[in-house]
Amino acid sequence: MSTDTKPLKYLDPAFVSQLSNMELRARLIVEGFITGLHKSPYHGFSVEFAEHRPYNPGDELRHVDWKVYGKTDRHYVKQYEEETNLRHYVVLDTSTSMRYKHTAALSKLEYGAYLASALHFMMARQRDATGLIAFDESIHTLRPPKSTQGYVRDLLVTLERLSAPAKEAVRTSAASVLDEVAERIGRRSMVVIITDLFENIGEHDRLLNALRHLRYRGHEVLVFHLLESETERNFRFPNVPMQFVDMETGEELSLQPSQLQANYAEAVTAFTTRFREKCRERNIDFIELDTAEPYSTALLAYLNKRYRLA
């Protein structure tokens, strides 16, 4: 556990307080439902002690820590790692294209890190186990789910490290990574993928198949699709000759934006429409976010919509 007490970049106390009455419940059948929102199917094997929590009416007396009661005259219940409502993973794209922001206040990677932080806090508050997987061309960070607030701080420190200035450009291989994630997550979980979907065009079908693989393995899947809408969806740049550089490959292209704007916007719309429809067919939430919009507003709007549709 981290002992660093410096302020955390992605901890926004004002927004965390707004989430106090919000919940992110699984809509589909996943394993791990227990105390609080659900009930766990796991009994009869050794589990790791995580932390104490206050006794609530209805809790089994066999879980009361009587040693703590003798010292404090208060009833506390031992909570174990398996005693969580569900297991939750944030799968964060950290490839170089995620560092783009144009005129937005935050890059896509910073925006995604704020989203991830808020989700980690929500899940831990619900006594859910939350973990983090980060990737570019391959998985480079894997923090397994745990349910303690101290562990959430560790996850936020990890997010700060992941969003630090990059030393070199790295591409994304989301399709192969998500296939690997599907194989590596043993128990059915909620998997939240945060990415700009900047995959090679030829990999789009494979990417959809990877999402289907996650669903086939029983995971509930949410995809937060991050783009800076002004330029990445609508290609609105000053109408003067410009040189564009691919952030991941270094490839350069010189053109006047007006020559490409209409075709570009049409292609992006066609891609996202198809992606959204394919996700809907697989019971996958596909949430399009504009990084020029405050992340807090976007996340609250999604959570409220999800609650209404539950």
- Tokens (6 digits) for 159: 């997010």
pLDDT of 243 > 80? The answer is yes
pLDDT of 291 > 60? The answer is yes
Q: Which of 169, 159, 158 is nearest to 96 (CA)?
A: 169
Beta strand 220-227 with 87-93 is: unpaired
Residue 139: which residues within 8 A CB-CB, separation 6 or more? 133, 177, 180, 181, 184
Average pLDDT over residues 265-279: 94
Q: What is the pLDDT of residue 44?
A: 34
> Distances in Å between the alpha carbon of 258 and those of 96, 100, 101, 214?
26, 21, 21, 40
Average pLDDT over residues 203-229: 94
Q: Which residues of 78-107 are buried (b: 16+ CB within 10 A; e: fewer)?
A: ebbbbbbbbbbbbbbbbbbbbbbbeebebb
132 HSE (CA, 13 A, CB side): 29
- Angle at the Cα of 27 from the Cα atoms of 116 and 308, rounded to 5 degrees: 85
Q: What is the pLDDT of residue 234?
A: 93
Q: What is the pLDDT of residue 34?
A: 39
Average pLDDT over residues 231-246: 92
- Specify the DSSP element, H or E, that contains 77: strand 76-80
Q: What is the pLDDT of residue 36?
A: 35
- Tokens (6 digits) for 222: 């949410």
Q: What is the pLDDT of residue 156?
A: 96
Measured N-to-C along each axis, helices 204-216 and 174-184 cross at an angle, to the nearest 10 degrees, of 10
Average pLDDT over residues 3-23: 80
Residue 92: strand, helix, or coil: strand
Beta-ladder partners of 193: 91, 223
Q: What is the pLDDT of residue 30?
A: 57
* Residue 33: band (very low, low, confident or very high) from pLDDT cuts 50, 70, 90: very low
Please answer whether residues 118 and 15 qualify as being in contact, where contact means their C-beta atoms are separated by less than 8 angstroms.
yes
Q: What is the pLDDT of residue 41?
A: 39
pLDDT of 228 > 90? The answer is yes
* Residue 83: band (very low, low, confident or very high) from pLDDT cuts 50, 70, 90: very low
Average pLDDT over residues 68-89: 72
Domain boundaries, the chain: 49-80, 87-309
pLDDT of 8 > 90? The answer is no
How many angstroms separate the CA atoms of 34 and 54, rounded? 16
DSSP string, 225-276: EEE-IIIIIT----SS-EEEE-TTT--EEEE-GGGTHHHHHHHHHHHHHHHH
* Residue 80: band (very low, low, confident or very high) from pLDDT cuts 50, 70, 90: low
Superfamily per CATH, domain 87-309:
von Willebrand factor, type A domain (3.40.50.410)
Average pLDDT over residues 268-273: 92
Q: What is the pLDDT of residue 29?
A: 54
- Tokens (6 digits) for 306: 């999800």
Q: CB count, 10 Å around CB of 243?
A: 8
Q: What is the pLDDT of residue 4?
A: 56
How many angstroms separate the CA atoms of 101 and 164, rounded? 15
> How much is the mean pLDDT over the chain?
85
CA Rg, the chain, in Å? 21
